Chains A and B, each alone.
Chain A
Amino acid sequence: NAGVMQNPRHLVRRRGQEARLRCSPMKGHSHVYWYRQLPEEGLKFMVYLQKENIIDESGMPKERFSAEFPKEGPSILRIQQVVRGDSAAYFCASSPLRVGNSPLHFGNGTRLTVT
């Protein structure tokens, strides 16, 4: 059973461009979480999705950021008009149930660099 797959592993964008980060959860997992890790900091929650639904986006910046988890295909975190402050590692995690009852499986992250 493959783990959580994130791609690309590294992404470089110029200011003003769009960044699309993809996450395929583990097979059988219907809960997806996105976290952001700034340099020398812990992970910060961004958004929690189930298939076709955003359950909690309280950690998402109000502008330029959006996330989806369609019925078919990977979850996508989209950042429009990127700025230097968006440079970070973005982690996706999945679980089959509420994470308190089952471990959260993380992907290897996508490191976004905005130049």
Chain B
Amino acid sequence: IAGITQAPTSQILAAGRRMTLRCTQDMRHNAMYWYRQDLGLGLRLIHYSNTAGTTGKGEVPDGYSVSRANTDDFPLTLASAVPSQTSVYFCASSESPSGEQFFGPGTRLTVL
């Protein structure tokens, strides 16, 4: 693989269920990010990690959790999904402190 992969590509989920979105990068980038994109609102940062073992909260962290056990993987977990979490989720990474981030293909999540 090259770049960032996300799984699943899409998912329909019942409200109240737990869901983990997976993100893996093979570029050995230090920093990784999770965004959600809703129509008309651009991308909003959910959580981020500047290096393995550390995480931080973004603009819209409520209802989501992340972990960063190693450099390559950065899973996003919805503990109990709600319909307002219906969105397209993008994972991204960056090599250094700059404005350049590399994005994965996204996961389209629908919570019913």
Q: Are these two chains actual partners, yes or no?
A: no
- List residues of chain A with CB under 8 Å of any chain B CB: none
- List residues of chain B with CB under 8 Å of any chain A CB: none
